[in-house]
Amino acid sequence: MGDIRNILFIMCDQLRADYLGCSGHPTIKTPNIDKLASRGMNFSRAFVQAPVCGSSRMSFYTGRYMFTHGATYNGVPLNIGQPTLGDHMRELGVQTGLIGKTHMAADRANMERLGLDPLSKTGVLASQCGFEPWERDDGLHPDQLTGPNLTYNEYLNGQGYDGDNPWHTAANSGVDENGDLQSGWFLKNAHLPAVVDQKHSETAYMTNRAIDKMTELGNDPWCLHLSYIKPHWPYIAPAPYHNMYSETDVVPVNKSDEERIAPHPVVNAFMQHEESQNFSDEEKRRHVIPAYMGLISEVDDHIGRLVDFLETSGKMEETLIVFTSDHGDYLGDHWLGEKELFHEESVRVPMIIVDPSNAADGTRGKTCDRLVEAIDLVPTFIDGLDGAAKPHLLEGRSLLPILRNHQDLDWRTTAFSEVDYAWRGARLSLDLAPDKTRGYMLRTENWKYVSFDGFGPQLFDLKNDPKELRDLGKSNEHSERIGEFENELNKWIRERKTRYTVTHDAIETKTDTAKKRGIYFGVW
Amino acid sequence: MGDIRNILFIMCDQLRADYLGCSGHPTIKTPNIDKLASRGMNFSRAFVQAPVCGSSRMSFYTGRYMFTHGATYNGVPLNIGQPTLGDHMRELGVQTGLIGKTHMAADRANMERLGLDPLSKTGVLASQCGFEPWERDDGLHPDQLTGPNLTYNEYLNGQGYDGDNPWHTAANSGVDENGDLQSGWFLKNAHLPAVVDQKHSETAYMTNRAIDKMTELGNDPWCLHLSYIKPHWPYIAPAPYHNMYSETDVVPVNKSDEERIAPHPVVNAFMQHEESQNFSDEEKRRHVIPAYMGLISEVDDHIGRLVDFLETSGKMEETLIVFTSDHGDYLGDHWLGEKELFHEESVRVPMIIVDPSNAADGTRGKTCDRLVEAIDLVPTFIDGLDGAAKPHLLEGRSLLPILRNHQDLDWRTTAFSEVDYAWRGARLSLDLAPDKTRGYMLRTENWKYVSFDGFGPQLFDLKNDPKELRDLGKSNEHSERIGEFENELNKWIRERKTRYTVTHDAIETKTDTAKKRGIYFGVW
């Protein structure tokens, strides 16, 4: 193995940490991802900064916590003044581009104010989260049908899938026993094979594009963000993945009746959402999860293709590989569907990192249970390319010292995550204004503390209740611990890096130097 | 009087709230400012968001708290993504420009990243804090000698003041009894008349430029930020202002021996600064303050000229006038010099507002003791021009309901201010890293609470100790109150408006509407 020249930053969408073979799932088949884990390190306690697509990703890409970067929900523009991964990589001479999804909304208002042409070189980067948009595809059509990112639809048309939106009618729909087209948007159709042939699926297509691009880049160093839409809904997979799993492969639901007795008000409001109600129906859950698992195994097959390419092209020895996800999926656990709240099913993600350096040989195949955050990736990439750390801006920490087994490492003891549920029905049922919907999670080795503005806290004893079935937020016995967590939360919020247009070095250089600069104040 | 068409936003630099006749100073002569107060409202509890030039001004101009906008000290670039007063005014069709000082540092790194040409129209605005730079002059030469803003020096050259930097050698120096030029930078020279004739002083020149500009603007609506450098140091005034006051006009110092017994560590570190040591010498203090007072009376004379112009041109009845300052000046009180800390001498500023509307007739000549913050001005201006409120972005509140005497107004009960002393010698003597230097003030009607990260709190009982001579931060008797203030501080920090690229209306419109947008998740 050798020095890091390239970075392959693979992200899935809505992939739970525990739905991989290497992470303990008893029935799912992910041999290629498992093999990646055996070549690198599997971080078993990796947390996203926000368990929802857009906000989580903006933290992955900026290296900053959610309420620091401010893009607190899907569709909230990332402020034009927030530098991203691409900016840091380009400073180090590394071309950085995207194939797939970012869920980034451009800050059109500030771009207009600054006269920044969205079609100029810098305008495109500012619109695409700092990535060169080698292939932007956010999935979720029809939302994207108004944008410029119709390539996958055009590709499908070219392969003989007709219609205006074959993303929907072919890749995300199936045909029922009556020969009628049924949309994968609806859970009841999760058992159908998608119309699309598996070799033309969105996952296959994105992988093709990634391999083509890496080929095209030749020997230039690159950072490729390959960002799969799957296994995110619509939950419908092409053959043979659609029936690779059956109900007998579905693991038991993680919930208890106690959870429905006086639940936390915010959690309770989420429990009333349609997705939670449907996934709480065991029959429906067992109908959908096999498709979810199939989509994961499909991704796994294509990870195998990527690794083959890297090996064949000789790039395996000079490429740092990350495999992760933007958040998990409740799938009915805790009487919830989707994500956004802070149970492990939602906030914990896979995080496998293969560091090609010889220095990392000692940790290959190991699992690491240190508390890792999504914002650690940007500092890791900068560190891996020997760039200067940016502690005035980046709120994460490089993982290289862990990957390279540095001794006596003083690591964080708490991971943080945040939510802003202003856009959800829960806000309406709780009768809250749009700026009263913030929540925070603190996760230590043995405890999880959750604080929603305006409500009491949640507390879980992970040592004795690893499945988070008993909320101790109202336990008098734990009031001291709750107070300590609240103090830690406040301290952390006070340390947000909002002063990020000046480096610490620049401050050191300028401290107490007015006289040297010809400014004499208070001098007799 | 009539509707607001124009805004004349006058700011002094380093002018203490209590150095005006209308605010109770026993000896200073400020008849024109007093007259403004009689025509409008005098806010006796107006606080800046940061008692230091640049950070305070960035709050005045953005309508946002200091650690929200992030420009936490002089020279820290204001992030390109922060909209300012000029942006809001232009949206309402009002030309907005600057004559004088902003202390704004442009965010060159982000401008370069975005390919924004500093000489383009939007590049100039982005570099000048959103103001059209009708005349940028930050004083403080030689710092500014590298910039494009040498107009005042050119003017002085044209008036016969020779040399490379007549700002220094004429406007801010005097000639001693031996005929030698002495710099106004040094406190010992404060008694000398400046070389410059008073009609060519920086204050006179800025006033000329303002009157010229208002004349040129004719009947177009405008917002003019006239931002005087004075009475900020160098403390040296042209004749006749240099000896308008003598030591007998100087009010007694506000300090006690008790303050030097075990002072708060941060305050103690500031007490060791050279400016504090010098101003703590009563002889030196009495030598300098008459010059400071002369500079204020000089400003007052020019305020008279401005009002004459507004009356003569008929603009008085359609112009909202604000007279304020960016922070105060310790002048030796509390054993301190300069500013930055949170005693009233530093953090409280003059705030006189003349609202031409008939609706404000009922409050003319009145003093208002409600807690007012610098960030209230941007919302006030927007409100005055009938613009839409921007509660997702602006952290202040319009003052019009106070000026127009609305009944049953639910007003804030705490004013906040912040400091970041990373650049000061105090940081070095306290041996702190550059990101461990934050401090906060909460000021209610009767109490002041100060919290510096990493140190114990300060508490002042303003009812029984209005001069803030007894710090109760260690008083066991007050521990409950201290706890309450700490909770309030934490709550306030948690509510910072970091999610500001989306409006509350947009959130309301989009809440719980996925299905309407063709996105069906969790639907059976």
List the CATH number of the domain containing A343.
Answer: 3.40.720.10
Cα Dmax for chain B:
95
Taking CA–CA distances from B55, the nearest residue in chain A reads: A499
Q: Note the pLDDT of residue B216.
A: 96
**A369-394 pLDDT per residue, tens:** 999 999 999 999 999 999 999 999 99
**How many CB pairs below 8 A link A and B?**
233
> Rounded to the nearest 5°, which phi and psi values hold at A403?
-60, -30
| Residue among A70, A143, A453 minimizing CB distance to B501 | A70
Buried (b) or exposed (e) across A110-147, using 16+ Cβ within 10 A?
bbebbbbeeeeebbebbbbbbbbbbbbbbbbbeebeee
In a domain, A165, yes or no: no
* Residues of B in Cβ contact (< 8 Å) with A279: 522
* Residues of A in Cβ contact (< 8 Å) with B14: none
**Is the separation of the CB atoms in A41 and A52 below 8 Å?**
no
Q: Over 70: is that where the pLDDT of A150 sits? A: no
In a domain, A512, yes or no: no
Of B316, B256, B230, B520, whose CA–CA distance to A236 is shortest? B520
pLDDT band at A142 (very low <50, low <70, confident <90, very high): low
Q: Note the pLDDT of residue A464.
A: 98
In whole angstroms, give the CA distance from residue A325 to residue A346.
11
* Residues of A in Cβ contact (< 8 Å) with B428: 511-512
Average pLDDT value for chain A: 96
* Residues of B in Cβ contact (< 8 Å) with A113: 83, 87, 122
| Residue among A113, A433, A495 minimizing CB distance to B87 | A113
B110 with A83: Cβ contact below 8 A: yes
DSSP H stretches of helix in B253-389: 265-271, 274-279, 282-312, 344-347, 377-384
| Residue among B116, B338, B521 minimizing CB distance to A275 | B521
B502 with A77: Cβ contact below 8 A: yes
In a domain, A178, yes or no: no
Cα Dmax for chain A:
95
Q: Note the pLDDT of residue B137.
A: 86
Of A167, A140, A518, whose CA–CA distance to B167 is shortest? A518
Q: Over 90: is that where the pLDDT of A347 sits? A: yes
Q: Nearest C-alpha of chain B: how many angstroms from A520?
A: 6
Average pLDDT, stretch A401-420? 97
Which whole-number Å values give the CA distances from A117 to A81, A98, B316, in the listed order?
Answer: 16, 20, 41
Q: Note the pLDDT of residue B146.
A: 47
In a domain, B500, yes or no: no
User: What is the SS3 assignment for A286?
Assistant: helix
Complex ipTM tops 0.90 = yes
**A153-196 pLDDT per residue, tens:** 989 999 999 998 999 999 999 999 999 999 999 999 999 999 99
Q: Nearest C-alpha of chain B: how many angstroms from A380?
A: 21
Q: Nearest C-alpha of chain B: how many angstroms from A11?
A: 21
B79 with A501: Cβ contact below 8 A: yes
Residue stretches of chain B with pLDDT short of 50:
145-148
Average pLDDT, stretch A77-93? 98
A122 with B114: Cβ contact below 8 A: yes
B512 with A425: Cβ contact below 8 A: yes
Domain of residue A104: give its range. Answer: 6-147+198-415
B185 with A434: Cβ contact below 8 A: no
Taking CA–CA distances from B110, the nearest residue in chain A reads: A81
In whole angstroms, give the CA distance from residue B74 to residue B43.
26
pTM reported for the whole predicted model = 0.96
Taking CA–CA distances from A496, the nearest residue in chain B reads: B67
In whole angstroms, give the CA distance from residue A136 to residue A129.
11
Domain count, chain A: 1
Q: Over 90: is that where the pLDDT of A335 sits? A: yes
Taking CA–CA distances from A125, the nearest residue in chain B reads: B114
In a domain, A507, yes or no: no
Q: Note the pLDDT of residue B354.
A: 98
Q: Nearest C-alpha of chain A: how many angstroms from B482?
A: 15
In a domain, B355, yes or no: yes
| Residue among A83, A391, A512 minimizing CB distance to B113 | A83
B428 with A521: Cβ contact below 8 A: no
**Is the separation of the CB atoms in A492 and A441 below 8 Å?**
no
Q: Note the pLDDT of residue B144.
A: 55
Q: Over 80: is that where the pLDDT of A244 sits? A: yes
Residue A468 neighbours by CB under 8 Å, 6+ apart: A334, A343, A344, A448, A460, A462
| Both tokens assigned to B131 | 């103001």
CB atoms within 10 A of CB A313: 13
Average pLDDT, stretch A140-151? 57
Mutate to test the interface with B, among A114, A120, A288, A489 (most CBs of B within 10 A): A114
**Is the separation of the CB atoms in B275 and B341 below 8 Å?**
no
Q: Over 50: is that where the pLDDT of A146 sits? A: no
Q: Note the pLDDT of residue B517.
A: 87
In a domain, B311, yes or no: yes
Q: Hey, what long-range contacts does B471-475 have (CB within 8 A, 24 or more apart)?
A: B471/B259, B471/B263, B471/B264, B473/B264
* Residues of A in Cβ contact (< 8 Å) with B114: 80, 114, 116, 122, 126
In a domain, A52, yes or no: yes
In whole angstroms, give the CA distance from residue B276 to residue B253.
13
